[in-house]
């Protein structure tokens, strides 16, 4: 399973699409505003000429309202800086929207029509938006050409499923990611794939950034070194595995089909992320922190009790379906989709009766190190 061809969110803007079910991702973008503002202020101050072009790229932009929310946030901050600037600096912004070729770029481009203020016309800083298909685990830009990289809710996706799993040299029986019965050797394979991908990502972005360039990365992670705790993303996928296993027991899905399906995914701990950045020594960590977000994207409360477990179960199910449906359809076929996510909603509802669950989300702000 190659991420370069297979990983894509559910396209279009229908009821089950990613565009209609990405409020969780929107909340993360709004939560990281202060760190984004700080990075933009620093990049803006480093522009040497009075007439400059700032190049910004959003890696793993997906499609839907959040794609242009990021552009809008960035441009609002840059234009506010331009208005406050005493030097009458003229800045133009080239904004690249990057994702894999299977992304719904048509929806992104159609949405641009409703954002007239983003395209060329802003007096303080005109903005030119371009789509850039391709994996961020490969080189995307010329050397020293980008000022700021932004990526939200993307870097937990791996470049591929570990080879030993995709070739069935090792089996992760009954699981689609790291579950309760995942063998330690398989956990190590997921970890190694993350290390390889993340090191490669840092090296590529270092080459592409200008001196003093910045990166703001937000992705799902783990609160502790333990793999399976109540709110971790591994539990979310373990419960998807449980829903598929229930269809195996009914004879709706072949067991071999389940055993050969693994997600190209890994949610690291803050310790793992820090250790790889320090080992790589290409970036200085300006800030790294972890915040939490309720599993139910519609639940904005801070309490520990889920008021309506059935409703929250349905909300979580729709959110996960928008992310996983294309991968599941590719592997298992379309016939099981509705039934699978109905079963999954009830499994989630039962899980939330124990306690409210929250995703741990890592945000890291990096500056290109001077060597």
**153-179, pLDDT tens digit by residue?**
999 999 999 999 988 889 899 999 998
Mean pLDDT of 202-228: 92
Phi-psi region of 62 (alpha: psi -120 to 50; beta: other; left: phi over 0): left
Coil, strand or helix at 97: strand
Close Cβ partners of 237 (under 8 Å, ≥ 6 residues apart)? 176, 177, 178, 179, 263, 265
Mean pLDDT of 240-258: 94
| For residue 3, pLDDT beyond 50 | no
Phi-psi region of 53 (alpha: psi -120 to 50; beta: other; left: phi over 0): beta
Comparing CA positions, the residue from 256, 238, 246, 259 lying closest to residue 336 is 246
Coil, strand or helix at 210: strand
Close Cβ partners of 15 (under 8 Å, ≥ 6 residues apart)? none
Q: What is the chain's mean pLDDT, rounded?
A: 89
Close Cβ partners of 356 (under 8 Å, ≥ 6 residues apart)? 294, 295, 299, 303, 304, 305, 306
Query: Residue 366 has which token pair?
Result: 């990096």
Could you give the angle at the alpha carbon of 322 between the alpha carbons of 154 and 290, nearest 5°?
A: 40
pLDDT value of position 124: 67
pLDDT value of position 5: 47
* pTM, two decimal places: 0.92
- List, for residues 7-64, the tens digit of each pLDDT value: 777 666 677 666 667 788 888 899 999 999 999 999 999 887 767 899 999 999 888 7
| For residue 1, pLDDT beyond 50 | no
- List, for residues 276-320, the tens digit of each pLDDT value: 999 999 999 999 999 999 999 999 888 888 889 999 999 999 999
Coil, strand or helix at 13: coil
- List, for residues 115-157, the tens digit of each pLDDT value: 655 654 456 678 999 999 999 999 999 999 999 999 999 999 9
Query: Residue 23 has which token pair?
Result: 């409020």
More confident residue, 18 or 202: 202
Coil, strand or helix at 216: strand
Are the C-beta atoms of 176 and 328 separated by less than 8 Å? no
Among 47-51, 64-68, 109-113, 207-211, the range with the most confident prediction by mean pLDDT is: 207-211
**Which helix (H) or strand (E) segment is 343 a member of?**
helix 337-354
Fold of the CATH domain 3-368 = Rossmann fold (3.40.50)
Q: CA-CA distance, 9 to 1, in Å (whole number)? A: 15
Mean pLDDT of 60-84: 87
Number of residues in the chain: 371
What percent of the chain is predicted at pLDDT more than 70?
Answer: 90
Question: β-pairing, 51-59 with 90-99?
Answer: parallel
| For residue 323, pLDDT beyond 60 | yes
The domain ranges of the chain are 3-368
More confident residue, 225 or 264: 264
Residue 264 backbone phi and psi in degrees, to 5 = -80, 80
Write the DSSP assignment of 143-166 as a string of letters. Answer: TT-EEEEEEES-TTB-SB--HHHH
């Amino acid at each position: 399973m190659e991420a370069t061809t297979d990983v894509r969110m559910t396209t279009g803007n229908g009821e089950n699409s990613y565009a209609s079910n990405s409020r969780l991702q929107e909340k993360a973008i709004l939560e990281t505003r202060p760190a984004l503002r700080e990075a933009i202020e620093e990049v803006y101050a480093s522009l040497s000429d009075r007439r400059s072009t700032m190049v910004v790229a959003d890696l793993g932009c997906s499609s839907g309202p959040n794609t242009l929310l990021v552009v809008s946030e960035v441009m609002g901050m840059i234009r506010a800086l331009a208005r406050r600037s005493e030097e009458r600096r003229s800045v133009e912004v080239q904004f690249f929207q990057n994702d894999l070729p299977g992304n719904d770029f048509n929806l992104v481009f159609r949405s641009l029509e409703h954002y007239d203020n983003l395209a060329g016309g802003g007096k303080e800083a005109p903005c030119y938006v371009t789509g850039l298909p391709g994996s961020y685990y490969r080189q995307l830009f010329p050397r020293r050409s980008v000022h700021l990289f932004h990526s939200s809710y993307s870097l937990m996706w791996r470049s591929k499923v570990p080879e030993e799993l995709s070739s069935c040299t090792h089996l992760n029986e009954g699981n689609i990611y790291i579950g309760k019965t995942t063998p330690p050797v398989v956990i190590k394979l997921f970890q190694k794939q993350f290390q390889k991908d993340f090191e490669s990502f840092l090296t590529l972005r270092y080459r592409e950034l200008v001196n003093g360039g910045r990166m703001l990365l937000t992705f799902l992670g783990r609160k502790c070194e333990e793999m399976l705790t109540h709110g971790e993303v591994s539990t979310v996928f373990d419960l998807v595995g449980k829903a598929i296993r229930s269809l195996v027991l009914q004879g709706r899905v072949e067991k071999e089909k389940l055993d050969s399906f693994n997600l190209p995914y890994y949610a690291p701990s803050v310790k793992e992320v820090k250790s790889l950045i320090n080992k790589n020594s290409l970036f200085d960590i300006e800030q790294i922190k972890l915040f939490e977000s309720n599993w139910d994207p519609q639940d904005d409360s801070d309490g520990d009790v889920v008021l309506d477990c059935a409703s929250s179960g349905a909300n979580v199910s729709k959110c996960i379906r928008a992310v996983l449906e294309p991968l599941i359809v590719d592997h298992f076929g379309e016939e099981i989709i509705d039934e699978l996510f109905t079963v999954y909603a009830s499994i989630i509802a039962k899980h939330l009766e124990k306690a409210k669950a929250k995703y741990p989300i890592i945000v890291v702000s990096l500056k290109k190190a001077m060597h």
